[in-house]
Structure 1
């Protein structure tokens, strides 16, 4: 197999670096050290730290979409079970990380510099994509009688993403799974029906 390019090494390591250190705290030296590449490589491949963050968000979003392919888009499961499978798979990752890091999209949204329109617009696009994926599954669940039909699917999807991000934020503060467990209990007791609680 060909060796990964230096740019790919920076991107692959950069997802973890920004997750663990945060956008503001991660300097170019930390980013390249974590990637195991010379510091000069960064400016060879990225015009700015903002451009790097956009690339990292894209990679993180690709990883999230892969999880959604295995869960939300798995039509062998009932729609409500797809939603549970998605949240359960993310919960497994959060547990492996010691309940410390949360979601990179949420973290970046909080840390985004006020003047960074490029980063803000990219976060809007990523959040829109995530919401659309939830909305598609919610519509399928409504058609199957698993989600209340008196609720707008886009509203439910927006609520899901906002509540999930909030639960992960509180999880990071508490370093505890309790906010995640509370989110899932309320979600599957109120909005989503015909899905046995775990």
Structure 2
């Protein structure tokens, strides 16, 4: 195998295995030796791919948000639904994935939001950038809803998008803490109410 391809394949395997372990237990609880053992990569090889565990965490978040962007492209990308329909579909998808407890598609941002911000400035910045991009996608779709007349012209779409995303992050954390999907179901109902507001 070409060395470049081998490097990329091994690096991707470490990130993929690491993501699964971290989604299950958290960033701090998972050690490098466990990740490398499960990925079947020699322990001494880690620093060939990442400068540190923090560097690994930054790469993990960057990879996650790139993949996430690809997954939501059908809603917000070229040829997408757009408008209020896209926003509702996005949050309904969030509800379905979290309700199914699908670890493969679970939200790494939710898992790490409360954990890494005090541990790593670099990871916090990567997390913030990824979240801001999602909010901008939501704001753009809400702007399209305003243009079509399905959303109040008085709404500040940037503020509304950020409020909705923050509500869902909070609802996801509460759902995990309570072991119940009720916070997510309530968040979806509230989302519909917030998006139904139109000009008199």
2:90 to 83, 86, 91: 86
Shift of 1:37: 2.3
Shift of 1:135: 0.8
Q: Name the CA distance, whole Å, in 2 between partners of 1:81 and 1:37.
A: 45
Aligned to 1:156: 160
Aligned to 2:146: 142
Aligned to 2:186: 182
Partner-residue secondary structure (3-state), 2:123: helix
Return closer, same or farther for 1:78/1:51 CA change in 2, 3 Å cut-off. Answer: closer
Aligned to 2:53: 49
Which string of whole-angstrom CA distances, capped at 9 and with x for unpartnered residues, describes residues 112-153 of structure 1? 153522122222211211111111111011112222221211
What is the TM-score when the length of structure 1 is the normalising length?
0.85
Task: Flag structure 1 segments of 5+ consecutive residues without an equivalent.
Answer: none
Contact 1:79 1:137 (C-alpha < 8 Å) held by counterparts: yes
Q: Name the CA distance, whole Å, in 2 between partners of 1:116 and 1:67.
A: 27
Aligned to 1:31: 35
Task: Flag structure 2 segments of 5+ consecutive residues without an equivalent.
Answer: none
Return closer, same or farther for 1:77/1:128 CA change in 2, 3 Å cut-off. Answer: closer
Return closer, same or farther for 1:86/1:113 CA change in 2, 3 Å cut-off. Answer: closer
Q: Name the CA distance, whole Å, in 2 between partners of 1:88 and 1:169.
A: 17
Return closer, same or farther for 1:91/1:115 CA change in 2, 3 Å cut-off. Answer: closer
Shift of 1:41: 2.5
Aligned to 1:118: 122
Moved more, 53-62 or 75-84: 75-84
Aligned to 2:66: 62
Contact 1:74 1:82 (C-alpha < 8 Å) held by counterparts: no
Aligned residues: 193
Which string of whole-angstrom CA distances, capped at 9 and with x for unpartnered residues, describes residues 141-166 of structure 1? 11122222212111011111111101
Give every structure 1 segment of 4 or more consecutive aligned residues whose post-TM-superposition deviation is greater than 6 Å: 1-4
Q: CA RMSD in A?
A: 2.5
